[in-house]
Amino acid sequence: MPWLVAGDHVIASLEIADTRRSRRRGLLGRDGIDGALLLEPARSVHTIGMRFPIDVAHLDAEMVVLSVSTMKPGRVGGYHRAARMVLEAEAGSMRMWGIEPGVQLETEG
């Protein structure tokens, strides 16, 4: 299983949605997620049909965090032109993990 890493610290388990089908499904139909979901490529997301609020981090091509926001179910997120990936997790996770703009993330495993 892949891991989300910041510096030399493992932050969370990671699912990677890198096919059209897996990106389209995302977190739809779930009641929550342990860890995070990385959508690649992606520049925006929505929470229409979702059952829980999520944190969303837009990442550039080097996985540097560009922005972080929280989205309630039933919303359409903004398009982030510089983003190449989007990281999703349950609301409150990004703050708990210390993910904020400027943080360099990596995947391992």
Q: What is the pLDDT of residue 24?
A: 87
| pLDDT tens digits, one per residue of 5-55 | 999 999 999 999 999 999 988 898 899 999 999 999 999 999 999 999 999
Give dist(CA 84, CA 75) in Å, integer: 20
Helices and strands counted in the chain (H then E): 2, 7
CATH 2.60.120.1140 holds for 3-108: yes
Give dist(CA 50, CA 69) in Å, integer: 16
Under 8 Å between Cβ of 39 and 17: yes
Q: What is the pLDDT of residue 36?
A: 98
Helices within the chain (DSSP H only):
20-25, 93-97
| pLDDT tens digits, one per residue of 73-87 | 999 998 999 999 999
Q: What is the pLDDT of residue 47?
A: 95
Report pTM. Answer: 0.95
Structure tokens at 93: 């996770």
Parse the chain into domains and list their residue ranges: 3-108
